Amino acid sequence: MDMKVEEPNSHPNFAAMHQRPISWRIKDRLIEPKFPLVMGILNATPDSFHAASRVDVDVALRLAERMLTEGAMILDVGGQSSRPGSAEGSPQEELKRVLPVVSAIRARFPEALISVDTWRSTIAKEAVEHGASMVNDIGAGLMDSEMLSIVAQLNVPYVAMHMQGRPATMQEAPTYSDVSAEVTLFLSERSNAAHDAGIADVIVDPGFGFGKTTAHNFTLLNDLERLVPIGAPVLVGLSRKRMINEVLGTGPAEAVNGTTVLNTIALMKGTSILRVHDVKEAVECVKLTLALLTN
């Protein structure tokens, strides 16, 4: 019986997402991100589900320095909690939390890529004007009708995430006929909408934990390669989430090992960006997975 022997570097998802060059337009410059890459989480909020990621300006600068030293390419700054059951704060409060952190990081680390995690176009605009380089939108342009047009004017990359419902209610009995098919269709449509609005560089995020049960999350992870044909880099945020803790009987503080396991699976299925609380571990995960897939 003939056996097919794969050539080196022939893993289909790796070839599809990590070997073709991509350039991002960021305001008046072009950069060529080297995938897979790591995005570090900085929460300028008092109620993020992982307490160690909550920061003020001084803590943010120390954590930003550590994350950049450990190998993060992007720092994601958010001022509005999106944990399940969280209430929406005011735009003024979100701006008050985000802008000082973004401005301080830009002043201290002028070459760092800063993402602003917001669904509000007004916050996105102010943050980019104060030094952010990317917009990470849990609403995929549907929670603020001005978001796509504003991001297009800002000339920065854009992350569109899938979420069923809104943070305050998204975990109240989420249901799907086929979670993987529905998320893939949604992200394909939102990627097209972003491009049609004039956004050059779009990243898609399946939104683990956003309007999904643990069973939905694992089905989605198992089918993650279905997102690759969309043609946009895939970002995943699995870090310390409930899907890990429900299986292992742990809490967010004990979920580093579980996060690394799931990040490895995500990378092997074509993920380009890992959004994490623990940069060192994620960078090591990327290096080891690349060693496996390229040798």
183-205 pLDDT tens trace: 999 999 999 999 999 999 999 99
Q: What is the mean pLDDT of residues 18-26?
A: 80
Per-residue model confidence (pLDDT) at position 40: 98
pLDDT digits (tens, 9 = 90+) for 123-179: 999 999 999 999 999 999 999 999 999 999 999 999 999 998 766 565 677 889 999
* Residue from 209, 225, 184 nearest 15 by CA: 225
Provide the pLDDT confidence category of residue 17 given band limits of 50, 70 and 90. low
Condensed to tens digits (0 to 9), the pLDDT of residues 201-248 reads 999 999 999 999 999 999 999 999 999 999 999 999 999 999 999 999
State the pLDDT at residue 170: 57
Q: Which two tokens stand for residue 181?
A: 């098919």
**Residue 16 — very low, low, confident or very high, per pLDDT cuts 50/70/90?**
low
- Catalytic residue list: 241, 275
Indicate if the pLDDT at residue 1 is higher than 50.
Answer: no
**Measured distance CA(164)–CA(213) in Å, rounded:** 11
Tens digit of each residue's pLDDT (9 = 90 or more) over 76-119: 999 886 655 546 778 999 999 999 999 999 999 999 999 999 99
- 100 contact partners, CB below 8 Å, separation of at least 6: 44, 57
Per-residue pLDDT, 82: 62
Q: What is the pTM of this model?
A: 0.89
The single-letter DSSP state of residue 284 is: H
Cα angle, residue 206 at apex, residues 285 and 67 outer, rounded to 5°: 40
Contact indicator for 160, 196 with CB cutoff of 8 Å:
no
Topology of domain 12-293, CATH: TIM Barrel (3.20.20)
> What confidence score (pLDDT) does residue 174 get?
83
N-to-C CA span, the chain: 26
Contacts of 249 (CB under 8 A, 6+ apart): none
